[in-house]
Structure 1
Amino acid sequence: MAERTVLLDPTPTAPVPVRTLTGLARGLLRTTRPRQWVKNLLVVAAPAAAGQLFSRHAVIQLALVFVLFTACAAAVYLINDARDAEADRAHPVKRHRPVATGQVPVPLAYAAGGVLAVLAPTAAALLSSPVTAALLTAYLGMQLAYCVSLKHVLVVDLAVVTTGFLMRAMIGGLALGIPLSRWFLITTGFGALFMVAAKRYSEAVQLAGNAGATRALLTEYTTGYLRFVWQLAAGVAVLGYCLWALEEGGVPSAGVLPWRQLSMVAFILAVLRYAVFADRGAAGEPEDVVLRDRALALIGLVWLAMYGLAVVNW
């Protein structure tokens, strides 16, 4: 009786995931990074600083701007993950992203991102203002350029990510026609650079010697340079805030205490507390640091209370 030889494929392919409508919806939602949406709360920064948060018009406009900015950011995430699907499959963490795993097909991610990228600025032009629509369009253009090429350019990548945060902080004021203080822009811009550089520094520390597991550009930065950047940015942000608080607070008021000047203490403590995690190389996920550290959360609440009292002139 002749023997039968069974040939086995030595490199079996990964099973193609079974796609359902519910699974696709969940995958698309995960790709838009819901945990990152907290960053878009920065849209209330300028109106809050100006004490113009509590009118019905302001609430409606800020809610709209939050949704539209979140849609723009989601569009960028979808297109970025579609573009980087192959590279993400070789990454120890990013390989679990829905597009990389095949839960969301690459063409669908591109299509969903494109639809959001068109709808968000259009809705802003119709429901908010041309300035808001222009800023959202600029944000999309800058972020898509970042996905394609700018994330591979030293220093420029830090500037682009920082500018994205600054745009979030500006758009609420622009939507409501609020003049933006130069000190507000300086403090917000360098505060964002502080967190961005601290994030890059933490990634560099945690992934040292494992270049294949992170973005290629990160290997071109030295930890010493990134430390210099976040320390410089932290210093400028603190200085800018102090000058802002002293300038605005120098106007005589009927307040019980000089809350705006006192808020400098809480702001400085918050920066120093965050710097602890940056120095340890544990600030790779800024939202986790802010939301999970109780001391930092408490300092933040104290700062909010002080600044709120200053705004209402209590």
Structure 2
Amino acid sequence: MNTFYAYISCLRPRQWIKNFLIFVPFLFTISDVWSPGDFNIVTDMLVKLGLAFIAFCLTVSSVYILNDLKDKKNDAKHPYKKYRPVASGQVSASMGVGLMLALCLIGISLMWYIDVLLGGMGILYICLNLLYSFGAKNIVLLDAFLVASGYIVRTAAGAVLIGVMPSPWLYIVTACAALFIVFGRRYAELRLYGDTEGSYRGVLKQYSGPLISQLVNITAAASLLSYTLYTIEADNLPSDHSMLVTVPMVAFGLFRYLYLLNNSDVSESPERLIFQDVPLLSTCAVWLVTAILVLWINGV
């Protein structure tokens, strides 16, 4: 691995997919706050969201570097993580610290430039991750809730940038889905590595037994139920409840994800799981297109 690629790998660009959550409020306010014909308004919103996306990518990458530096010894024993630039020694600790601070400073500064409130949310995101990295990641359940909170911060940031107050159901859906993904990852790690010292994540021992399966099942059901209620109860969605047509797609996506958690060799990595599974990726694409069409048609 050459030096340039090693530094790029430190940023974990695959994880940037999570930052697309900032566009969710924009998507679900079509024909309510904006319409495709409002070129100037749409352009202004997309520029802000695009800059915020970049800022979040930089900030999130700085957090991942921090975790790599703290977990260097454990990662060196992991069958896959040992190849990460910091764990393998391709990027020194001093260079890692420098890169982390630079990314964090640029990311937060850009957020602050876009919107002061967004800058505050960026600092909140950093604080939540510092709490996670320096102790909370070893506390069962709290570790999962802190990771899930990052998803909610991203969604809230998207709402702030376009000046809307989304339905509380949107935050509930995001929280349930985020917990499902986090608990699903814990489940996959236990399935692949067990709860012994070789699992490389101390908190896994506390998730062993029937607990983690129960948590995955509960959050999967909560995600589907909350999304269904969102399509019915949200004031900004079509009053004829036509968004219900997307519920079967969400259900299939959840069930497919559950199947992969139990059968895939890369199930501990949500982003790899989604992009490497054609049925799941196709379902996400069909859901997105269908949702846009339903919202657009109902706003005409």
CA contact (8 A) 2:196 2:205 kept: no
**Seq. identity, %:** 24
Contact 2:189 2:199 (C-alpha < 8 Å) held by counterparts? no
Provide structure 2 residue ranges, at least 5 long, that are not aligned to the other structure.
37-41
Cα deviation per residue 1:224-261 (whole Å; 9 max; x = unaligned)? 11111111111111111111111245625xxxxx6412
For residue 209 of structure 1, report the CA deviation from its aligned partner: 5.7
Question: Which runs of 4 or more aligned residues in structure 1 lie more than 6 Å from their structure 2 counterparts after TM superposition?
Answer: none
- Name the CA shift for 1:53/1:82 in 2 (closer, same or farther; >3 Å): farther
The 5-angstrom pairing of residues 33-112 of structure 1 reads 33-51=12-30, 52=34, 55-112=42-99
Matched, 1:277 2:260: yes
Q: Counterpart in 1 of 2:39?
A: none
Structure 2 match to 1:6: none
Query: Match of 1:130?
Result: 116
**Residue 223 and residue 307 in structure 1: after superposition, are their counterparts in 2 closer, same or farther (change >3 A)?**
farther
Greater Rg over alpha carbons, structure: 1
What's the Cα RMSD here?
2.0
Q: Deviations over 1:4-44 (max 9, x none)?
A: xxxxxxxxxxxxxxxxxx94432221111111111211111
Q: Which has the higher contact order (CA 8 A, sep 6+)?
A: 2
* Aligned residue in 2 for 1:313: 297
> Residues 53 and 162 (structure 1 numbering): CA distance in 2 closer, same or farther, change over 3 Å?
farther
* Residue segments in structure 1 that go unaligned for 5+ positions in a row: 1-21, 253-257
- Number of the residue aligned with 1:9: none
Report how far residue 156 of structure 1 moved: 0.6
Equivalenced residues, count = 287
> Which residue among 281, 286, 291 is the counterpart of 1:302?
286
Q: Any idea what SS the aligned residue of 1:50 has?
A: coil
Q: Pairwise mapping of residues 176-195 of structure 1 onto structure 2 (< 5 A)?
A: 176-195=162-181
Partner of 1:13: none
**Match for residue 5 of structure 1?**
none
Q: Distance in 2 between matches of 1:53 and 1:38?
A: 25
Q: Distance in 1 between matches of 2:29 and 2:49?
A: 14
* 1:216-227 superposed matches below 5 A: 216-227=202-213
Provide the residue aligned with 2:274 in structure 1. Answer: 290
- Aligned partner of 1:274: which letter? Y
CA shift for structure 1 position 111? 1.5
Task: State TM-score, norm by structure 1.
Answer: 0.85
TM-score, normalisation: structure 2: 0.89
2: CA distance, partners of 1:287 / 1:81: 18
How far does the alpha carbon of each residue in 1:157-204 deviate from its partner, in whole angstroms, 9 at most, with x for none? 000111112222221111221212111011111011111101110100
